[in-house]
Structures are given as C-alpha cells and as structure tokens.
Amino acid sequence: MPGGDRRAKAPNGYIVSGTWPHALMEPVKMAQIVQAIARALGEAMEQGGWSANALAKEAGVNRQVIANVLAGSVWLDVYTVGALEDTLGVILWPYHLDWPQQGQPKDGGRAVGPVGDKRGQEAGAAGAADGEETAPRVRASRAGERDSHERSTL
C-alpha cells in the first residue's frame, strides 16, 4: 500500500465500543477526526433533508463516498470535505486541537472520543465540563468567521 500501512485499518476499525459514528474510539486522532466529520455530515444531511444521492449530485462527489464516510469505512480527502461543506453550508471539519494527543487520553488511560461529543462520561465530557469549547459551538463560531472573511474579501 502506498505510504505504508497506516490506512490499512478503516476509521471504524478503531471503535472500542458502541456504533459508528457515536462509538467510543481508541485515542487515534485521525480516526476521531473522521468520526467527527461523519457525525457532522449525518446531522447536516438530516437537518437539511438531504439524501446521499441529492447531496452527491449537488456537491460533485460520488454517492458511494458519502455512504462510506457515514459508515466510517474510508479515509476521506480534503477535496471531498470542502465540496460537502460548500454544498451543505456548514463546517464539517472539527476543531480538534484540544482533543487528547495520540496515546495520551485525558481521562487517565481509557480510550476517549473528541472533546464535546455527545457520549457523556464515556468520552470527552470531562474536558467539556472543564470549560473547553465543544464542537457544536466551535462549528457555529467558525461558520461566523468564514462569513466575515467572505464579506471582507468581496
């Protein structure tokens, strides 16, 4: 495999317990990022009433890629994320700088998920309780930053 075997295991292969995309994950940041993108994508599609077929056609992305992202079976690329964000009008890429570093879970050794996820005590809720910004608020603030940037470049 080009680039070694780092991508031999799909993102959903790092699940410790639960079901994708709300599962408890091993502390592998790249898999956690894909999980957060899949969760945000599913939520945006549901809120906007998008089918995978309609979104694929509008975004210029293969429908199977969307299905694979939602299933956690693919390492998606930046082009796909950008095309989906543009079409949906939301930020899918998570703010992940405050997540646990690979191999250093914040909770003393258990596998964890992204800070601000919705799994309560199972994952990053301790970080959110300590005042760290959660993903939904960051997504909203980043969308506002994008809007103000777009206005300033017109």
Query: What CATH number did the domain enclosing 27 receive?
Result: 1.10.260.40
DSSP assignment of the chain equals: -TT-STTSS-GGGGEEES-TTSSEE-S-HHHHHHHHHHHHHHHHHHHHT--HHHHHHHHT--HHHHHHHHHT-S---HHHHHHHHHHHTS--S---TTSPBTTB-TTSSS----BT-S-GGGTBHHHHHTTPPPHHHHHHHHHHHHHHHHHHT-
pLDDT the model gives residue 7: 78
Count how many domains the chain has: 1
Domain extent, residue 46, equals: 12-115+131-152
Tens of pLDDT along the chain (154 residues)?
555 676 789 999 999 999 999 999 999 989 999 999 999 999 999 999 999 999 999 999 999 999 999 999 999 999 999 999 999 999 998 876 666 555 555 554 445 455 444 433 333 333 334 343 334 433 444 444 444 444 333 4
Residue 3 inside a domain? The answer is no
pLDDT the model gives residue 134: 38
Residue 44 inside a domain? The answer is yes
Residue 126 inside a domain? The answer is no
